[in-house]
Amino acid sequence: MAPSDDTANNARAILFILAGVFFISINDMLIKLLSGGYPLHQMVFVRSAIGICVSLVILRYEGGVAMLRTGTPGLHLVRALLIVIANMTFFAALAVMPLGAATALFFVAPLFITLLAIPVLGETVGKHRMTAILIGLLGVAVMMAPGVDWGGIPRLSLLLPVAAAFCYAGMQVLTRKLGAKSAASAMAVYIQATFILVSVCFFVVAGDGRFAEGVESESLVFLLRAWVWPPVEDWWKFGLLGVLSAVVGYALSQAYRIGDAATVASYEYTGLPIAIFWGWIVFGEIPSLPMLAGTALIAGAGLYVFARERQRARSLSAARPQRRP
């Protein structure tokens, strides 16, 4: 592929990731808004049931049902399960943590993507980017330090966004690996179908809320409480969750399918100020000093990784023989 083709694909991938991150922020805000009255698996089921319908419409325009055929069903299943676990753990964190704080901790994901790109994609990561990754992890440590006041939030709950970030990173690296042979809409359908299957299993096992009785952890209650029929005024929220689920699934899959993993990952940091904004406007959450310091370290590390990646890409482009017109 010519350098100009690489540049054009990365530019398109950046547009997709920016759109995906913005819609993710709205999705997370809605999930947190509804977390006090509904179980997580009910919201996941509704959003995925709507989302898979939208994804199938997009699939039709990308080539039809035949695009769902794949020679690597195992990897697609692993990818789908990783994003299910990532979403479940992150949404469980939203039930007890400020939106901005949970998002900031989750944003070690691009650093994890850079790390996982080494064994999975064969990408090279030098000492400068490795140092930046360590600085980003230091930001996580600052936010989770014993002396930081989290208003009674269990320390174990602070690990939920980090665990979600690792699973999400694995999913996105697999997206890059699988994207050469799979359409973005097809990969989105696989994910939506897995969400539906997992949420139905949750409903069968815990849909009556019996496992939530006597549980003190708000995150576990959010996962295990009984299904509730939503009043009419909440229907539009569930509908919007479904549409957002489809759009986000497609946008992220397309971004990592056509773009360079490390470059695309850096643009996910635009979600940090957006999440802090929603937390302030909707929930009245004011970031603490340790949270801001940790967020700055995490974001700074990610942006430095991006800068090094850009420099590396320019060097490779200059060294590459140019094709004759």
CB atoms within 10 A of CB 290: 18
Predicted confidence (pLDDT) per residue in 198-249, tens digit: 999 999 998 898 888 888 888 888 888 999 899 999 999 999 998 888 888 7
Predicted confidence (pLDDT) per residue in 91-104, tens digit: 999 988 899 989 98
Helix residue ranges per DSSP H, 147-270: 159-178, 184-206, 218-224, 232-258, 261-266
The C-alpha atoms of residue 38 and residue 94 are separated, in whole angstroms, by 13
Helix residue ranges per DSSP H, the chain: 3-34, 40-62, 73-94, 99-106, 109-121, 127-143, 159-178, 184-206, 218-224, 232-258, 261-266, 271-283, 289-319
CB atoms within 10 A of CB 210: 10
Task: Look at residue 165 and tell me whether its pLDDT is greater than 50.
Answer: yes
Whether residue 312 lies inside any domain: the answer is yes
Residue 96 is given by DSSP the state: T
Residue 214 is given by DSSP the state: T
CB atoms within 10 A of CB 65: 11
Q: Which residue has the tokens 């299993």?
A: 201
Whether residue 107 lies inside any domain: the answer is yes
Higher pLDDT, 271 or 110: 271
Whether residue 181 lies inside any domain: the answer is yes
Please give the tally of structural domains in the chain: 1
Whether residue 95 lies inside any domain: the answer is yes
Structural domain containing residue 190 = 3-319
Whether residue 193 lies inside any domain: the answer is yes
Higher pLDDT, 309 or 206: 206
Asked if residue 274 lies in contact with residue 35, where contact means CB atoms within 8 angstroms, the answer is: no
Whether residue 175 lies inside any domain: the answer is yes
Asked if residue 10 lies in contact with residue 260, where contact means CB atoms within 8 angstroms, the answer is: yes
pLDDT recorded at residue 321: 34
Whether residue 324 lies inside any domain: the answer is no
pTM over 0.85: no
pLDDT recorded at residue 45: 93
Please report how many Cα atoms fall inside a 13 Å half-sphere around the Cα of residue 96, on the Cβ side: 24
Whether residue 114 lies inside any domain: the answer is yes
